[in-house]
């Protein structure tokens, strides 16, 4: 499959590398930011452009890995030349129907993982959620995803958007809890290292069990004395106290 990759940020870079390593031909990289476009194109042994009207019309698949806000505008811009091509975006938050009216064949190709610049992403353990308007395109995307990972899911727009909400809870929000803990420890001159094994074990425990069956701690036990004491300690962190109250309330319920 000949692919044009639109976007050279975290997602574009990691996905581009994975596709390239799996033997797919990236015919071109687009990014408005020249250094990014150039760097990724070099990595993938291909050409690049920073101008929308220079995007190649010789690919089978256009993968849009840019900020959600930019997808609709891009679709409108590209539709005059490429409206018969298959176009997908990699976003959890945007419906694939963002392409409707501009393209005949569209879908989503959503790798569900957190991607950071400079940290390798193992696509072989990562789920990819795909969907497309036309069944034949969905089959094609499914097969493409299967060349990257065994974990491919057919997920509707609506499901993917709820999946993205759930991903925000387990990724961004858990990470914020880690940050709160790190901040509390710093104020006590304690090393964040002390908590790292606990963080890892908490994530490992739910790999083979339901989270609700793994819950422990003062809120799960309904231990009001400890909860009251914790809230008192948190008085110097009013924002963290609020988080404590809201989540403890949810656990205790």
In angstroms, how far is CA 125 from the centroid of its own chain? Answer: 14
Q: Which two tokens stand for residue 228?
A: 């009251």
Q: Which stretch binds a second copy (CB under 8 A): 24-32, 55-63, 70-78, 201-209?
A: 201-209
Binding to a second copy (CB under 8 A) within 204-233 occurs at 204-207, 210-212, 214-221, 223, 225-226, 229-230, 233
Q: Which of 51, 53, 158, 235 binds a second copy (CB under 8 A)?
A: 158
Q: Which of 2, 54, 134, 176 binds a second copy (CB under 8 A)?
A: 176
Tell me which residue of 182, 169, 87, 162 sits closest to 132, measured CA to CA.
87
Asked whether the beta carbons of 40 and 16 are under 8 A apart, the reply is yes
* Interaction of residue 69 with a second copy, rule CB under 8 A: yes
Q: Which two tokens stand for residue 146?
A: 């299967």
Q: Which two tokens stand for residue 159?
A: 């499901």
Instruction: Write the binding mask 87 to 106 for a second copy: x where contact by CB under 8 A, - elsewhere.
Output: ------x-------------
Binding to a second copy (CB under 8 A) within 13-52 occurs at none
Rounded Cα distance between 104 and 173, Å, is 37
Rounded Cα distance between 144 and 22, Å, is 10
* Interaction of residue 167 with a second copy, rule CB under 8 A: yes
* Interaction of residue 120 with a second copy, rule CB under 8 A: no
Asked whether the beta carbons of 6 and 16 are under 8 A apart, the reply is no
Looking at the Cβ atoms of 55 and 234, the one nearer to a second copy is 234
Minimum distance between the CB of residue 89 and a second copy, rounded to whole angstroms? 13
CB atoms near residue 54 (< 10 Å):
11
Q: Which of 45, 53, 119, 135 binds a second copy (CB under 8 A)?
A: 119
């Amino acid at each position: 499959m000949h692919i044009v990759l639109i976007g050279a940020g975290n997602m574009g870079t990691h996905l581009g590398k994975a596709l390239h390593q799996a033997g797919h031909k990236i015919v071109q990289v687009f990014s408005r930011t020249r250094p990014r476009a150039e760097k990724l194109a070099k990595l993938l042994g291909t050409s690049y452009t920073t101008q929308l009207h220079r995007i190649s019309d010789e690919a089978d698949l256009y993968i849009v890995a840019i900020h959600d806000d930019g997808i609709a505008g891009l679709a409108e811009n590209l539709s005059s030349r490429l409206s018969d091509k298959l176009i997908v975006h990699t976003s959890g938050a945007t419906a694939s129907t963002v392409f409707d009216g501009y393209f005949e064949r569209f879908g989503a190709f959503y790798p569900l993982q957190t991607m950071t610049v400079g940290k390798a992403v193992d696509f072989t353990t990562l789920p990819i959620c795909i969907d497309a308007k036309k069944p034949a395109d969905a089959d094609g995307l499914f097969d493409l995803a299967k060349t990257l990972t065994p974990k491919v899911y057919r997920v509707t727009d609506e499901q993917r958007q709820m999946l993205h909400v759930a991903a925000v809870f387990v990724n961004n929000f858990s990470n914020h809890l880690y940050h709160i803990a790190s901040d509390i420890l710093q104020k006590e001159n304690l090393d964040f290292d002390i908590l790292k094994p606990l963080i890892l074990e908490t994530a490992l425990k739910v790999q083979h069990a339901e989270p609700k069956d793994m819950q422990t701690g003062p809120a799960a036990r309904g231990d009001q004395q400890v909860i009251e004491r914790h809230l008192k300690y948190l008085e110097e962190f009013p924002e963290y106290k609020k988080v404590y109250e809201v989540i403890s309330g949810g656990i205790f319920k």
